[in-house]
Structure 1
Amino acid sequence: MTEKNREDWIELAREITPTTTAWIDGPVASRSGATRATVNPATGAVLAEVAECDEHDVDAAVTTARRAFDAGGWATASPRERAAGLHRIAQRIEDGLDELALLDSLDAGKRIVDTRAIDAPGSAAILRWYAESLDKVYGEVAPTSAADLAVVTREPLGVVAAVVPWNYPLEMAIWKLAPALAAGNSVILKPSEDSPLSALRLAELAAEAGLPEGVLSVVPGAGPVVGQALGRHHDVDAVTFTGSTETARLFQVYAGQSNLKQVWPEAGGKSAVVVLDDVADLDLVADGVAAGIFTNTGQVCSATSRLVVQRGVADALIEKVVARANAITVGDPLDPATGMGPVVSERQAARVLSLMETGAAEAREVHGGGLVPGMPAPTYVRPQVLLGVDPAARIAQTEVFGPVLTVHVVDTVDEAVAVANGTPYALAAGLWTDGLTRAHSVARRLRAGTVSVNCVDALDVATPFGGFRGSGYGRDLSLHALDKFTGLKTTWIHHG
């Protein structure tokens, strides 16, 4: 892409008119007429007044989705026909990369260099990957007697509700939509109330690409209203959710209160990065540790927010990590030179600042933290590194979802593993070591859905993403994600 500077992006942003209506068989206002302001966290300015949906809009969306599914135009289309549809949506995303990147940057405060180079093109690539996978997924023939034929096939579940967070608005939506649509389901997308704009534009692009009416609905609104209505709806067959552990528990309750729908939660994390004392290149490790917690202002569920380091390299590594944290430029996300933008909202900033204060009181030594002075909105926080924190302290056990790193110095590998595994979460972990045998043995002992060895937050559409324990059990990405959106059906033919 042609390199753009801050002024170029600002000029392009002026040309964008965000979509503000819900999408239920086309663009519609909320039935109550209510709207909610979506705010640019970088400036505090209102970007748009977006339809504020409620349970009546959810009912309409579910009715529409069920009608589309029963009609069969998408659900019973051949894999190649659905693949072609996904490719067309991907092409619309690729044709509008600048617009979609700007919508996420403006709406969520994300760095434009990330949304333009990673999030938007990555979303199109995920759609294409699932499109290409569809004619490579086979059913089964069971081992029966000669008089019988038992065929096991995968069928779409029906109506899927996808509830996504604000930290990666477009890409998280695609993580859910791509496999759910590929499998033949009708999907109702509920974006975060803090960042709905790219999801609403995506609905328009999907319609332009020829996705049949009703196959994709987008219903913006408050989580306790729209999310709860989807979770409790008797005609929703599955909920796929990324967000907090507390909300994931609620969706399981809603399923029990309604139709026992499947719930696939990808929930919170408090991931550790373990650094063993055999590493030689501490600059490389320090770069990785800093990237693991300060990328996207720490608003990453798999962020490695706890550094567990063996004493032999601790002092030298800590000095380098603190220096990198202090060197981060916190500023305008539309400026390509910015190292870290704001958090998503004033509400989230207040929560992060409160936890920073808690952490400072629990730490022996504090570097950074607090608001950046002189910024256009109270959403810019400085990276914080906390030394001498008890692994059981609140700041070391609580998901901050902000740029806060706690440091824990240990003597042995056993102690490192115990500290790393010592939270209610088990989403991700990092490990740095120069020993191949140690890499294998320690990685096996780390309780996490993904262990990134000598790299940072390893991720690819071909590998599953998700965790254990309080991090939930859903898996996004890879062919395994199709398992969430299909049911096994046995057709048994007796020859008599």
Structure 2
Amino acid sequence: MSERKHIKVTYSTLASPDPLLHEYFDESVVEAKAGFGKTFPMYINGEERTASQTFEKRSPVDLDLVMGYFQKGTAEDVNDAVATAKAAFLAWSGRPWQERVAIMRKAADLISERLFHMGAVMSLEIGKNRLEALGDVEETADLIRYNCDAIEQNDNFSRPLLSESDKHHNRSVLKPYGVWAVISPFNFPGALAGGPAGAALVAGNCVVLKPATDTPYTAWLLTECFRDAGVPAGVFNFVTGGGRSVGQTLVDHPDVAGVTFTGSYDVGMHILRTFAQGRYPRPVIAEMGGKNPTIISKKADIDKAAMGVMRSAFGLQGQKCSACSRVYVHNDVKDEFMTKLVDLTSQINVGDPTVKDNWMGPVANMGAYEDYKEFVADLHANGDVVFGGKILEELGNGYFVAPTIVDNLPLDHRLWKQEMFLPIVTVTGYEDMDKAMKMANDVEYGLTAGFFSEDDDEVQWWLDNIEAGVLYVNRSSGATTGAWPGYQSFGGWKGSGSTGKAAGSFYYVQQYMKEQSQTIVG
């Protein structure tokens, strides 16, 4: 095969890709399927490792499609991974930071070079459409590059402090912690595994990555990129298995110096509380979901609002922590908005996400499929399901469901506040904007939020009062979704995040390091 032209895909360019993109992706799907059914190892101390048991990964697109077999790791595997990471820490952290940056930049370049293969696997592994999958892979590389940039631009965060005299030399330096655990989610199996792992590594930590059991394949491909870039043995380790066994063992391990977790509020809070039981405080970077609102003013451009909500509510089947799940629209424009939203949603093609014309794929797993059925039964009983609200068995042997719009759901109903993580959006009208703001803020989450208005004073009022970490105004490409490293920081307030520091911005990589003050007299 001839060498492929590099095509960069971001979430804001999803509508205008290079024509060659589709040709490359289609070829890669065929190539990826030809390699399915193999058994994949864990990776500990630079060596492939197998366990006594494996688990199979079937595609949610076609439950007859076995993508591969992965190791059911044990506590012993976790203990070995942590021990080898601890042993490798001194050499890795003591290496000149420029060398760490060079290795991580090579890893990012390999991810970009392998864009289409990784994207094809991801699409079949979790049900992302081709452009969302390719965007996830490219974001992984850009997150790594962004953190490399931060280390370079700040001279590895070594800075002079004030000095009492010419004989006093005071300095602040940041140093890595040690062994860092990354527990990554299924919905962004590249960016939310490789981004935190890359930050930890370039800062000088050694990493043990434990991916979601739904997405071990993408994590293995990421592992290959780190390995092939020259990350030394023991510095990066990859373990697979269940959350209660492998994940909990990592969190409980006394030699794990820090944890990055992305997932549900309940699991994130459990990790925070468990990790706090150690001998001394250790950092936990947790991103724990959202119940993201969009407020639409009577002064909004309704075409922008409808498009933005549709894309944010139903992209990746609503399985984004940033998905728009609640809409508050002024009563004067509600009918117009609902008509346009239903019309746009009716044009969504649901099906095999590797097919170019399909924008929505299946939900991730049986648990999500069953949750959808439970939620829509409740919504049919208590609100008006104006679109969707059904499973799509006719699409084949996968977890296909319809994008769902709900009106007139009582405001005290639990699903105004509970994260569903599914393609379901609830809509209500309002008369008073202050009351709409109060409803928008009245949840335990605070990740993303959207606003539509053509009035500058209203925009500023909204920016001053909304309680969330990532804000978008008049964004038709995604009312509450679509952050990209360096363009939008991504981190949550309240129950959506544990540190108040966001990825892809000025303060992220420093969280993987601790400060030391150095004074030399002489």
Shorter chain as denominator, the TM-score bin is over 0.9
8 Å contact from structure 2 (residues 146, 504) kept in 1: no
8 Å contact from structure 1 (residues 269, 302) kept in 2: yes
Distance in 1, matches of 2:203 and 2:295, equals 38
C-alpha deviation, 1:15, in angstroms: 3.0
Equivalences for residues 45-444 of structure 1 within 5 A: 45-70=65-90, 72=91, 74-116=92-134, 118-137=135-154, 138-146=157-165, 148-259=168-279, 260-279=281-300, 281-444=301-464
CA RMSD in angstroms, aligned pairs only: 1.8
8 Å contact from structure 2 (residues 54, 70) kept in 1: yes
Q: Aligned to 1:443, what secondary structure does the other structure show?
A: helix
Distance in 2, matches of 1:167 and 1:108, equals 7
Distance in 2, matches of 1:464 and 1:233, equals 31
Distance in 1, matches of 2:336 and 2:246, equals 50
Q: Aligned to 1:12, what secondary structure does the other structure show?
A: helix
User: 1:489 is matched with which residue?
Assistant: 516
8 Å contact from structure 1 (residues 359, 394) kept in 2: no
Distance in 1, matches of 2:381 and 2:294, equals 23
Structure 1 residues 30 and 391: alpha-carbon distance in aligned structure 2, compared to 1, 3 A threshold: farther
C-alpha deviation, 1:9, in angstroms: 4.8
C-alpha deviation, 1:276, in angstroms: 0.6
Post-superposition Cα deviations, 1:153-212, rounded to whole Å, max 9, x if no partner, equal: 000111110111001101111221221111111111110001111111221221111111
Distance in 1, matches of 2:272 and 2:147, equals 28
Distance in 2, matches of 1:226 and 1:485, equals 22
8 Å contact from structure 2 (residues 284, 498) kept in 1: no
Post-superposition Cα deviations, 1:52-86, rounded to whole Å, max 9, x if no partner, equal: 1121111000011111102x2x2122232112111
Q: Aligned to 2:349, what secondary structure does the other structure show?
A: coil
User: 2:493 is matched with which residue?
Assistant: 468
Post-superposition Cα deviations, 1:328-384, rounded to whole Å, max 9, x if no partner, equal: 111001101101000111221111221122222221444211111312224100011
> Among the aligned pairs, what percent are the same residue?
28
Distance in 2, matches of 1:238 and 1:360, equals 44
C-alpha deviation, 1:390, in angstroms: 2.5
Q: Aligned to 1:434, what secondary structure does the other structure show?
A: coil
8 Å contact from structure 1 (residues 421, 447) kept in 2: yes
Post-superposition Cα deviations, 1:17-70, rounded to whole Å, max 9, x if no partner, equal: 566111112343344x11111110000022111001121111000011111102
Post-superposition Cα deviations, 1:207-234, rounded to whole Å, max 9, x if no partner, equal: 1111111111111111111111111110
8 Å contact from structure 1 (residues 30, 57) kept in 2: no
C-alpha deviation, 1:139, in angstroms: 2.7
Aligned with residue 36 of structure 1, among 27, 45, 55: 55
8 Å contact from structure 1 (residues 360, 366) kept in 2: no
8 Å contact from structure 1 (residues 383, 403) kept in 2: yes
Greater Cα offset, 402-411 or 204-213: 204-213
Consecutive unaligned residues in structure 1, runs of 5 or more: none
Give the residue type in structure 2 aligned to 1:276: S
In the alignment, structure 1 residue 16 sits paired with structure 2 residue 35: yes
Consecutive unaligned residues in structure 2, runs of 5 or more: 1-6, 8-19
Post-superposition Cα deviations, 1:90-111, rounded to whole Å, max 9, x if no partner, equal: 1211221121111211211111
8 Å contact from structure 1 (residues 26, 213) kept in 2: yes
8 Å contact from structure 2 (residues 85, 236) kept in 1: yes
Normalization by structure 2: what TM-score? 0.90
Distance in 2, matches of 1:374 and 1:458, equals 31
Give the residue type in structure 2 aligned to 1:149: H
Q: Aligned to 1:220, what secondary structure does the other structure show?
A: coil
8 Å contact from structure 2 (residues 56, 68) kept in 1: yes
User: 2:483 is matched with which residue?
Assistant: 459
8 Å contact from structure 2 (residues 252, 275) kept in 1: yes
C-alpha deviation, 1:484, in angstroms: 1.5
User: 2:14 is matched with which residue?
Assistant: none
Greater Cα offset, 100-109 or 140-149: 140-149
C-alpha deviation, 1:237, in angstroms: 0.4
Distance in 2, matches of 1:27 and 1:19, equals 15
Number of aligned pairs? 490
Distance in 2, matches of 1:403 and 1:458, equals 16
Post-superposition Cα deviations, 1:378-432, rounded to whole Å, max 9, x if no partner, equal: 4100011010122331111111111000002110110110111111111110011
Distance in 1, matches of 2:382 and 2:158, equals 55
Give the residue type in structure 2 aligned to 1:115: A
8 Å contact from structure 2 (residues 29, 117) kept in 1: no
Give the residue type in structure 2 aligned to 1:465: F
C-alpha deviation, 1:325, in angstroms: 1.6
Give the residue type in structure 1 aligned to 2:515: L
Aligned with residue 468 of structure 2, among 440, 445, 448: 448
Q: Aligned to 1:431, what secondary structure does the other structure show?
A: strand
8 Å contact from structure 1 (residues 358, 395) kept in 2: no
